[in-house]
Amino acid sequence: MAADARALDVIAPENLSPVAGAQLRQRMAAFLALLRDNGFLVGLEEAQDCLRFAAAADLGRPASLRAGLRSVCCTCRADWQRFDELFDAYWLERGMKGMVKVSGTPPKGRGARRLSEAGAPRGSLGAPDQVSREGAEAGGNPADRQGRREGASSAECLAEADFRHLVTAEELQRVHELADRLARRMRHRLSRRERQRRKGRRLDLRRTIHRSIGRGGLPIDLAWRKRRERPLRLVVVLDASGSMSQYSTFFLRFIHGVLDRFREAEAFVFHTRLIHVSPALKERDAAKAVERLSLIAQGWAGGTKIGESLAAFNRHHAARVVHGRSVVMIVSDGFDTGAPELLAREMAALRRRTKRIVWLNPMIGWQDYEPTAGGMSAALPYIDLFAPAHNLKSLEALAPYLEQT
Amino acid sequence: MDRKEISEQLTKVGYVTDSQLTMALWLMERLERPLLLEGAAGVGKTEVAKALAEVHDTRLIRLQCYEGLDANAAIYEWNYQRQLLAIKAREGRGETAEEVEKHIFSEEFLLERPLLAAIREDKPAVLLIDEIDRADEEFEAFLLEVLSDYQISIPELGTVYATSIPLVVLTSNGTRELSDALRRRCLYHYVDYPSEDKEARILTTRLPRIDATLARQIAGFVAAVRKEDLRKVPGVAESLDWAAALVGLEVRDLRAEPEAVQDTLLCLLKTQEDRLALAPEVTQRLLGKVA
């Protein structure tokens, strides 16, 4: 093996004719940059490997260059399927749609279009900036859009921007990416916590024997390991009614990311009735999962019936999905067209079953908001955490609360 | 070994490969990187490692992952029973505790587990880490450490350096998202269900007694079955079983013996629902599609 590595060095680009080597390096670097712009995880190490490979392989045939770079640069199935297209476009100069050419430009094409359709609904309740939204949606001024975009600090700005105020497809796309990343970060924090508390009630033989040496091998001082605590179960109940429609896609996206971390998780969407959507969230591809969920949530008319939906939840699902280690997270603005008494009764019933109820309400983030909507005030006494959820920052603030077991 | 040789050798040991996979296998040796194989259950991911071990004529060391797999089970463990006995046996000799400790935490009492075993082989072994997605994220971090340095530190004994760098094959069914760090450490290959043509070749390679026409028919039929809405899509192992059953029943033409087909479907379909879904009419329709 070591001999092989040395053999590679001998024919490494720097030992070839310097001009050809430099050219290859440049071409390769540009290709890797293209991959990076298209979301591939390609770093320095991969770049070196690509060059080592290029030096060792017979590059006369594009097929072997393709196969080799594909093995090195792909890290998941999506990359795997996308690779050929990008390879052709760059090395064989075949044009393609949807390729990202410039660093930092959000991908256009399918993804972005879908978002602008699904994520920017019309005719929603309680949206003071309705007019400007529709203006921009109707086409807007390309130069203006250009001006809005990016810069190093834009990620932070977007994190604090109310989801309602996001207008362009690019912004939506970026926020969705941020939500994904946030979900992943939270997932990691949560799992670290779990690791630290993983002590248990199992005999730790290694330490026991250490301690028994001084006692002639008699294990008198026993060392214990605690049994691993089982993780929290997260049950999400999301309001997908018209008044929430500006927010629901973000939550779906975010929930999809976080659920992946909770080994035990269930999700429900309600509007006028309740639907169990966990299977749809099993879809690995976030955009696809959200699309499927949006399809499920579409096409219901009439007001929001939180009380009735919760009643359905308590009757049909709660026994199965809610237990002592569950956190029930309700995401809703609390505009209930049903009777507040029913909601209060069902909240009380739910309260008896579970340890914690979190109610996320995007409207808390609005200025001068008071939870006076009939439903909301009826539900308040049964809630452990009543938190805003109108932007990414507020979602991030939830992490510490979810960490407590 | 160059790529052509790898490909020939693989065929010789009964594994039908393609140029992309051959390239990946060649690269993992060249770049000393693990290979991550992803794909649905039953597409022959584990077989790749087995074939690779055969090609290199080396030991295959397998680590089957499961939820709760920890370092003790994957790297090394002390032989506690023997340690206790040794302490007892040395009791009367008047040795100090340090001496006893030094003795019982020595090589002699160390139990190798797959990861340690793999880096202590004289000849580079093939290390198969099967279904890594079933292990916890914590274990993934452990593994990453071992795979990047090829050394293992044992607190009581010191650091064990690799005598040879194993060829590492990881497989994943995608039940959990693996960390980016691990993915980046590995070469990547996505294993799909084989094309009809490839599957027919697999059948003829593995079952020398099978008739070429029948192999093609079986491959065609299985491909059609995979397009049906099933709970468990039959993998390559299933189609091999089924083909063996049909050969055993001396079936020559699937269309001529629909009853034999229906009766042997249990080799392909492993749940009651799927059996019900493939009623005789459905089987007939699928058989009609088979050329």
Of the candidates A49, A75, A205, the beta carbon closest to that of B183 is on A75
Amino acid letter, B65: C
pLDDT tier for residue A119 given thresholds of 50, 70 and 90: very low
CB contact under 8 A, A41 and B83: no
Count interface pairs A-B at CB distance under 8 A.
103
Partners of A4 on chain B (C-beta within 8 Å) are 29-30
Do B189 and A67 lie within an 8 Å CB cutoff? no
Residue with token string 């609360």: A401
Is residue A396 classed as helix, strand or coil in its secondary structure? helix
Identity of the highest mean pLDDT range in A140-144, A241-245, A401-405, B223-227:
B223-227
B116 vs A117 pLDDT, higher one: B116
Report the percent of chain B where pLDDT is more than 70: 99
Each residue of B240-289: pLDDT tens digit? 999 999 999 998 888 888 889 999 999 999 888 788 888 888 888 888 88
What single string gives the DSSP state of each residue in B138-181?
Answer: HHHHHHHHHHHH-EEEETTTEEEEPSS--EEEEEE-SSSPPPHH
Burial of A10 per CB tally in 10 Å (0-12, 13-18, 19+): exposed
Distance between terminal CA atoms of chain A?
49
Joined together, the tokens standing for residue B186 give 């590995």
What number is the ipTM of this complex?
0.80
Query: How many whole angstroms separate alpha carbon A402 and alpha carbon A395?
Result: 11
Of all residues in chain A, the one with the smallest CA distance to B173 is A77
| Chain A residues in contact with B177 (beta carbon < 8 A) | 260, 284
Q: How far is B204 from chain A (nearest CA, A)?
A: 27
Written as one string, the DSSP assignment of A100-165 is: --STTPPP-SHHHHHHHHHHS-SS-SS-TTHHHHHHHHTT--HHHHHHH---TTHHHHHHHS-GGG
For B86, which residue in chain A has the nearest alpha carbon?
A217
pLDDT(A135) > 50: no
| pLDDT at residue A14 is higher than 50 | no
| Separation CA B55–CA B9 (nearest Å) | 6
Q: Given B29, B124, B190, which is nearest A80 (Cβ)?
A: B190
Sign of CA dihedral B181, B144, A1, B52: negative
Q: What is the C-alpha separation between A193 and A400, in angstroms, rounded?
A: 10
Side-chain half-sphere CA neighbours of A336 within 13 A: 26
Q: What is the pLDDT of residue B177?
A: 67
Mean pLDDT of A387-403: 73
Confidence of residue A188 (pLDDT cuts 50, 70, 90): low
pLDDT value, residue A112: 33
Joined together, the tokens standing for residue A238 give 């999301």
**Distance, CA of B75 to CA of B270 (rounded, Å):** 35
Taking residue B192's Cβ as centre, other Cβ atoms within 10 Å add up to 12
Contacts of A209 in chain B (CB under 8 A): 78, 80, 83-84, 87, 104
| pLDDT above 80 for A361 | yes
State how far the Cα of A95 lies from the Cα of A90, in Å rounded to an integer. Answer: 8
Given a cut of 50, whether residue A303 has pLDDT beyond it is yes
DSSP assignment letter at A313: I
Say if CB A120 and CB A137 are below 8 A apart: yes
CB atoms A41 and B187 under 8 Å: no
- What does the pLDDT read at residue A158? 58
Residues with Cβ within 8 Å of A100's Cβ and at least 6 positions away in sequence, in order, are A34, A37, A38, A106, A107, A108
Mark B245-265 as b/e (b = at least 16 C-beta within 10 Å): bbbeeebeebeebeeebbebb
How many angstroms separate the CA atoms of B215 and B242, rounded?
Answer: 11
Share of chain A above pLDDT 70, in %: 55
Report H helices in A260-370. Answer: 278-281, 286-297, 306-312, 318-321, 340-353
What's residue A131's pLDDT?
A: 31
Q: Is the pTM of this model over 0.80?
A: no
Tell me which chain B residue has its CA closest to the CA of residue A67. Answer: B20
Asked if B84's CB is within 8 angstroms of A56's CB, the reply is: no
Which tokens is A269 given? 């969407």
Phi-psi region for residue A83, left (φ > 0), alpha (ψ -120 to 50) or beta? alpha
Provide the sign of the torsion angle of the four alpha carbons A332, A334, A336, A341, taken in this order. positive
CA distances in angstroms from A121 to A116, A134, A167, A286, listed in the order given: 9, 10, 11, 20
Q: What burial class does residue A385 get, using C-beta atoms within 10 Å of its C-beta: 0-12 exposed, 13-18 middle, 19+ buried?
A: middle
Interface of A with B (CB under 8 A): 1, 4-5, 8, 41, 43, 45-46, 49, 52-53, 56, 63-64, 67-68, 70-72, 74-77, 79-81, 191, 195, 205-206, 209-210, 212-214, 216-217, 219, 228, 260, 284
Instruction: Read off the pLDDT band of B66 (50, 70, 90).
Output: confident
The two tokens of residue A167 are: 């207008």
Q: How far is B187 from chain A (nearest CA, A)?
A: 5
A325 CA to chain B: closest CA distance, Å?
20
Mean pLDDT of B149-176: 87
Q: How far apart are the first and last CA of chain B?
A: 40
Cα(B291)–Cα(B287) distance, rounded to whole angstroms? 8
Lowest mean pLDDT among A66-80, A98-112, B95-109, B190-204: A98-112
- pLDDT tens for residues B171-229? 998 766 688 888 888 999 999 999 999 999 999 999 989 999 999 999 999 999 998 87
B121 vs A229 pLDDT, higher one? B121
φ/ψ of residue A369, rounded to 5 = -85, 130
- What is the tens place of the pLDDT at every residue in A266-291? 888 887 778 888 777 776 676 777 77
Please list every residue in chain B whose beta carbon sits closer than 8 Å to the beta carbon of residue A77.
Answer: 38, 174, 190
Residue A260 backbone dihedrals phi, psi, to 5 degrees:
-55, -30
Residue A109 has what pLDDT? 37
Chain B residues whose beta carbon lies within 8 Å of the beta carbon of residue A8: 30
CB contacts of A195 in chain B (<8 Å) are: 138
What phi, psi does B169 have (nearest 5°)?
-120, 125
DSSP A353-373: H-SEEEEEEGGGGSTT--S-S
CB contact under 8 A, B30 and A71: no
Cross-chain CB nearest to B124 (options A1, A217, A260): A1
Q: Which two tokens stand for residue B65?
A: 């992952």
